[in-house]
Amino acid sequence: MGKASVILYITVGILVLFLVSYSPKKKSHHHNGGHNSQHHRLKLRSSFNFKPTRHDPIPFDPLVADMERRREDKEWERQYIEHSHPELAHDPAPGHESQPEWEEFMDAEDYLNDEEKFNVTDRLISLFPKIDVSPLDGYVSESELIEWNVQSSAKEVMHRSQRDMDVHDRNKDGFVSFSEYEPPSWGRDSGNYSFGYDIGWWKEEHFNASDANGDGLLNLTEFNDFLHPADTKNPKLLLWLCKEEVRERDSDKDGKIGFDEFFHGLFDAVRSYEEDNHNATHSYHDLPEGPAKQLFAQLDKDGVGYLSDVELLPVISKIHPTERYYAKEQADYIISKADSDKDGRLTLAEMIEHPYVFYSAIFDEDDTDDDYGLHDEFR
C-alpha cells in the first residue's frame, strides 16, 4: 500500500471520528446527568407505614419529597376510608386543584426520568446554594447537611401530624381533646400487646404530658409532640417518656431500675446509639459490664443503686433517638459516598459526580457498578 493510500485512510478515519463525535446523540430515557446514567432509573418510595413510632427516610430533594408526600397522602386517604368509612371506599376521590406539573404524568417516576423535565445535575446545582449557608464558602459541610435534613424531616413530620389532627379534631376548632382522640387502629387491633400501647402510649397520661400549657387541649405543636415525643422540648413529656421506660424495663415491678434491668435493656440502646455516632470512648466487647456499671453510677445521682425516671433524663434521647440523630446518620452516609477527596465536606463538583447518592435509583440488569447501591434508607 502506497504512502498516499495510507494518508488517505488516516484522513478518512479522522473525518469519520470527527463526524461521529459531533453527531446528535439519541437521548436515553434514563438520562439524568452523571456517569453511567443510561443504567439508572430514579424511583420513588411506593410502600408506606403510618405508625409514628417508625422512622421513614426523607428524600434529599424537596421536589421528590413533595411527590412522595402526595403519594403517601393518597395511600393514607385510601386506608382511612377503608377502615373508617367503608361505604365510601368505591367512590372516586375528589380532584385536587392547582396540581404541579408532574401530576400530569401517568406516573410521577416518568417525570423524574424525563431529562427535559427533571435533570439531576440541574437540581443539584440549584440546591447547592440552599444548603451551603453557614458559612457560605463553596462547600457543604456535615453540619450544613444535617441542618438541611432536619428541616426537611421537620416539614414531613408536621405534615403527617396535621393530617392526623384533621381527622381527630371532630369539632374543627383547631384543637384535639382526649375525648376526641382515639388510639391508632394498629394499636387497637393488636390489643394491649402492641408496641407503645402496653407501656402507656396513646393513653390519658401520655395526652396530659403532651399538653404543655395544661388547658386540656392539644394544639398542632402539642399534638405533634404527642405523636413524636422523642423530638419534644416539653419537659413534662420527656419525663413521661422516662417514666414509660421505667415501667417497661422494671421486671420486678418495684418502680425503679436496678443494674440488671439497666444492663439487659437500656444499656444496649445507649451503646447502639453511641457506636452509631462514633462517640464510644471504650470497647464494649471487653468486660461488657464495666462500661455499663460506669454509666449506671453516673446516672445514679443519689447513689442508692437504682435509677428513677428523673435519672434517665440524660440518656432518654439515646434510648429514643431524635430526628437529628437520623439526619446525622443520613448526612454521614452521603459524605462517605460522595466526598471524593476525603476532606469531610462536599463541593458541587463532587455532588454532581455522585448523583445517585442523593437520589434513589434502580439499575438495568447490565449495570455492574456497585458504588451506587439502592439505599432506600438514605435518600
List, for residues 51-84, the tens digit of each pLDDT value.
655 566 789 999 999 988 888 888 878 777 776 6
Beta-carbon neighbour count of residue 86 at 10 Å?
Answer: 9
Domain range for 359 is: 41-92+100-140+334-372
Q: Is residue 242 part of a domain?
A: no
Q: What radius of gyration, in Å, describes the C-alpha atoms of the chain?
A: 27
Q: Which three cell numbers stand for residue 138?
A: 463553596
Residue 314 included in any domain: no
C-alpha cell read off for 182 = 382515639
pLDDT score recorded for residue 86: 66
The SS3 call for residue 256 is coil
Q: Which three cell numbers stand for residue 32?
A: 439524568
Structural domain includes residue 172: no
Residue 101 φ then ψ, to 5°: -55, -40
Domain count, the chain: 1
pLDDT at 91: 55
* pLDDT value of residue 53: 54
**Cis before 229 (ω within 30):** no
Q: Low-confidence residues of the chain, pLDDT below 50?
A: 5-6, 8-9, 11-38, 93-97, 102, 105, 186-187, 189-199, 279-286, 363-379
The neighbour count for residue 318, using CB atoms within 10 Å, is 19
Distance CA 63, CA 116 (A): 15
CB 28 within 8 A of CB 41: no
Q: Is 135 exposed, middle or buried (0-12, 13-18, 19+ CB in 10 A)?
A: exposed
Distance CA 238, CA 100 (A): 40
Cell of 145: 447537611
Predicted confidence (pLDDT) per residue in 248-287, tens digit: 999 999 999 999 999 988 888 888 776 666 544 444 444 5
Look at residue 57 and tell me if it is in a domain.
Answer: yes
Would 107 be classed as within a structural domain?
A: yes
Please report the pLDDT score of residue 98 as a whole number: 52
On whether residue 104 sits in a domain, the answer given is yes
CA distance 8 to 5: 5
Query: What number of other Cβ atoms are within 10 A of residue 194's Cβ?
Result: 18
Contact status, residue 331 vs residue 142, Cβ threshold 8 Å: yes
Which residue type sits at 189? D
Q: Give the pLDDT score at 101.
A: 55
pTM: 0.74
Contact 184, 202 (CB under 8 A): yes
Question: CA quadruple 250, 251, 252, 257: dihedral positive or negative?
Answer: negative
- Position 250 in a domain: no
**Residue 1 belongs to a domain:** no
Residues for the chain: how many in total? 379
